[in-house]
């Protein structure tokens, strides 16, 4: 019983609860508007946030690319904040899409099958900050070929856009966790170590 309790505590300790890696346009620089040259954003295991602002015609799109490392996966994507900065309302609709690879496209009728998934982005679509945007993108309601979650290791690109004149602020949270297989490998190794030490103790 003691061995299983120890290994259970070990598994729980391997799952991150919080580790903020925060990219803010106001501090770290304007996110790229070029789909072929997105801004590289680093993600770590835990909660990572990207905060920016978009408005047409001068800053219509924010593209950022990120990598999910070996033994990791992206499980959730949340819209923490969404603000229509010009009118003070929250009904101004934006758009978000996810693509695989470190480059992407400008979303539209001719490119709708060239990215993974797209969705409207506003508080009407995602009323709560706890609504999972990643699941919506996987279903590709506004373009895309669709995909399954979670997202495994590889390079990905996200675009947030506002084609209307309103200046829209947003904050996204991306949750990266160890793959279950990785956690179980560590757990198995720990279990073996605990059992070995237990047997050594019993022989004394």
Would you write out the chain's pLDDT as a tens digit for each of its 204 residues? 443 333 333 333 344 444 458 999 999 999 999 999 999 999 999 999 999 999 999 999 999 999 999 999 999 999 999 987 655 555 578 999 999 999 999 999 999 999 999 999 998 899 999 999 999 999 999 999 999 999 999 999 999 999 988 889 999 999 999 988 644 444 444 445 433 544 444 555
Q: Where are the beta strands (DSSP E) in the chain?
A: 21-24, 39-40, 46-54, 61-68, 72-84, 94-100, 117-121, 154-161, 168-178
| Contacts (Cβ under 8 Å, ≥6 apart) of 152 | 68, 73, 179
> Which among 21, 16, 12, 2 has a CA at the least distance from the CA of 174?
21
Q: Return mean pLDDT, the chain.
A: 83
pLDDT in tens, 6-35: 333 333 334 444 445 899 999 999 999 999
- What CA–CA distances, in Å, run from 138 to 19, 26, 41, 97, 106? 25, 30, 21, 10, 18
| Contacts (Cβ under 8 Å, ≥6 apart) of 28 | none
pTM value is 0.80
- What CA–CA distances, in Å, run from 81 to 8, 13, 30, 182? 35, 29, 18, 32
| Sheet with 21-24, side-by-side order of all strands | 21-24, 46-54, 168-178, 72-84
């Amino acid at each position: 019983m003691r061995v299983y309790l120890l290994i259970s505590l070990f598994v729980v300790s391997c799952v991150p609860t919080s580790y903020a890696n925060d990219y803010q346009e106001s501090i770290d620089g304007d996110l790229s508007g070029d789909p072929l040259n997105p801004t590289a954003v680093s993600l770590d295991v835990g909660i990572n946030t990207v905060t920016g602002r978009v408005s047409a015609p001068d800053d219509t799109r924010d593209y950022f690319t990120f990598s999910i490392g070996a033994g990791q996966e992206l499980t959730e994507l949340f819209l923490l904040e969404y603000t229509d900065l010009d009118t003070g309302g929250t009904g101004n609709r934006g758009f978000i899409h996810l693509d695989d690879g470190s480059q992407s496209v400008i979303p539209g009728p001719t490119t709708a099958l060239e990215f993974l998934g797209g969705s409207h982005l506003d508080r009407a679509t995602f009323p709560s900050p706890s609504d999972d945007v990643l699941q919506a993108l996987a279903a590709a309601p506004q373009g895309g070929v669709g995909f399954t979650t979670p997202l495994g290791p590889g390079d990905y690109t996200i675009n947030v856009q506002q084609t209307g004149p309103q200046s829209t602020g947003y904050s996204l949270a991306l949750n990266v966790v160890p793959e279950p297989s990785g956690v179980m490998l560590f757990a198995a190794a720990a279990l073996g170590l605990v059992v070995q030490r237990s047997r050594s103790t019993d022989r004394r």
